[in-house]
Structure 1
């Protein structure tokens, strides 16, 4: 079952996001297993958000624990919140 992951923090910014992304996915042509789509941008009111679609929550958790969290820790980034929901429908024109 596909899932939607919404990661966000009022304490993150584009610089922290890009630094983490470079470390977590060094080759964008070789994305992590199970990633369907990735979107990122500023939050209204400040901070940063990332919205991903994954094939499963297991794929998401493996990527967070194996790549994102270690990269963020290396940069001294603050924690972020993650909300996971089931994808019920999608439309990709």
Structure 2
């Protein structure tokens, strides 16, 4: 079941997101297994947000454990909040 993943980092910046992105997705043409959609933008409340669609929560969790968290620790990145929900309906025109 596909999932929507919303990550928000109140202390994150565009520069920090970009540094992490460059480490974990050096070739955007070769996305990680299970990633269907990836978006990132400033959060209107401050900080940074990333909204993704993954084929499964297991695919997302594996990517976080194997690639995101090690790179975030290297960068000394602050924590971020994550919310995952199953997608009931989606349309890709």
Task: Find the residue that maps to 1:45 and give its secondary structure.
Answer: coil
- What's the offset of the Cα at 1:92? 1.8
- What's the offset of the Cα at 1:9? 1.2
Task: Find the residue that maps to 1:22 and give its secondary structure.
Answer: helix
What 5-or-longer segments of structure 2 have no aligned partner?
none
What's the TM-score, normalizing by structure 2? 0.97
Task: Give the ranges of 4+ consecutive aligned residues of structure 1 lying more than 3 Å apart after TM superposition.
Answer: none
Cα distance between partner residues in 1 of 2:19 and 2:61: 20
Counterparts of 1:62-73 in structure 2, within 5 Å, are 62-73=62-73
1:82 partnered with 2:86: no
1:92 partnered with 2:92: yes
- What's the offset of the Cα at 1:91? 1.7
Q: State how many pairs are aligned.
A: 93
What 5-or-longer segments of structure 1 have no aligned partner?
none
Look up the match of 1:45.
45
Deviations 1:5-36 (A, max 9, x none): 00001100101100101111111110000000
